[in-house]
Amino acid sequence: MRRLAGVLAALLVLMATGTAWAGTVTAPPPPSVAAQSVVLMDASDGQVLYAKHPHRQLYPASITKIMTALLALRHGHLDQVVTVSAKAAAVRGSSCYLQAGQQLTMRDLLYGLLLVSGNDCAAAIAQAVGGSTANFVGMMNREAAKLGARGTHFANPDGLPNPQHYTTAYDMALFTRRALADPEFVRVDTTRSFNFPQKSGPPLTFVNQNRLLWNYPGDLGVKIGYTNQAEETIVGAARRQGMTLIAVALHTTPAGIWSDPEHLLSWGFAHFTPAVAVTRGSRVTTSPVRFGREKEVGVLAGASFRYAAPQGGPQVLTRRVRLEPLRAPVRSGQVVGREEFLLNGQPLGEVPLVAGSAVAVLPAPPPLLWGLLALAVGLWTWRSAQLNVRRRRRYRWGRSALGQRWYGDD
């Protein structure tokens, strides 16, 4: 009983800390972090490797600008010329010292936004992309919902305190995962210094505020933030051993802003290795096809699926193939189902399944064949009717003959 109680107590401790260890028997000691809320995510598939209060809603501060940059790259153009409004130039907080009437490219504004966290750059981007700050904020919230965020609501493009401006560590990892898929975002965000043009006079040299670029091997950025309400916040990412990990820390300490992402990333790289569940184009199974020239079609993986496999302990990868009923015609590359992956019983993700070749409809018989078939059916029906008539006549005749013999015997 004491041993059982000890096991249960250990499980409760793991549940309380929020450790996500993909179902292994013995989880490693969790990373040491000071933040109230953290998430460590594998960027390839969104797999959460470790979490502590991942859905707690907190102020994000300037890591908000990851979403601002994401929308600028998606809906704007890098060479687009933006004229700074008086309202944008007057935004309080961290600044790139923009002046009303100053003209800059969207590329310049992104460098000011991500390297030195210019709130004035955020406002100028929002007005240029959304037509107004209010419209841009609506775009931010719609994009957040589209990416699967359930605990985020934006009220501005810069992260200044607002009761209606909050997020979660998990949601920020989702946004960052999408941002890191854009090479231009990574290119800007990992730039160490940039000469920022001024309205008059020589450019100002801005140095990236993210110390991880200098101190953590393989670092990919991405953003830091601070307000009195949010305290220190940071999103970090790094690529090693063919694996990209994202670390988010909300409401941390001045020391934790650097140590938290380092500890999370190092813990992930030490305890997980990249693995491939399926590669695009590989044959998964076959599927029957109704009314087709071929009775079945080969089913291929429509995408590759990579994940982080825990080192040590059991690793049971389960595959579930779910196919739709197929009826000819079938197009080559047509989505015909999906393959789901589970690691030690925990869902990892899925890939679409596609038809490996086209299947044409089975051609209809020629008219002559239809005519012969109809004639055969007609003859068979007529013959069956004739036989039935003869059977009935014989039956009646037999009964009549039997009756005559009976009465004659009396």
Whole-angstrom Cα distance, residue 244 to residue 44? 7
**How does strand 81-83 pair with strand 283-290?**
unpaired
Chain centroid to Cα 346, Å, comes to: 16
Structural element, H or E, at residue 320:
strand 317-323
Structural element, H or E, at residue 171:
helix 169-180
Whole-angstrom Cα distance, residue 400 to residue 393? 11
Number of other residues whose CB lies within 10 A of the CB of residue 184? 14
Q: Is residue 62 among the annotated active site residues?
A: yes
Number of other residues whose CB lies within 10 A of the CB of residue 295? 11
Catalytic residue among 37, 44, 94, 117: 117
User: Using alpha carbons only, how large is the chain's radius of gyration in Å?
Assistant: 34
Any idea which residue has 């990416």 for tokens?
Answer: 147
CB 12 within 8 A of CB 47: no
Catalytic residue among 62, 85, 94, 287: 62
Whole-angstrom Cα distance, residue 202 to residue 196? 9
Nearest Cα residue to 39 out of 27, 56, 59, 24: 56
Left if phi > 0, otherwise alpha if psi is -120 to 50, otherwise beta: which for 93? left
Chain centroid to Cα 10, Å, comes to: 32
In three-state secondary structure terms, 339 is strand
Size of the chain, expressed as the number of residues it contains: 410
In three-state secondary structure terms, 33 is coil
Whole-angstrom Cα distance, residue 99 to residue 90? 8
**How does strand 103-105 pair with strand 81-83?**
antiparallel
CB 132 within 8 A of CB 171: no
Whole-angstrom Cα distance, residue 404 to residue 406? 5
Q: Is residue 117 among the annotated active site residues?
A: yes
Catalytic residue among 52, 65, 94, 223: 65
Q: Is residue 146 among the annotated active site residues?
A: no
Task: Indicate the Cα dihedral angle 28, 29, 35, 36, nearest 10°.
Answer: 90
Q: List, by residue number, the catalytic residues.
A: 62, 65, 117
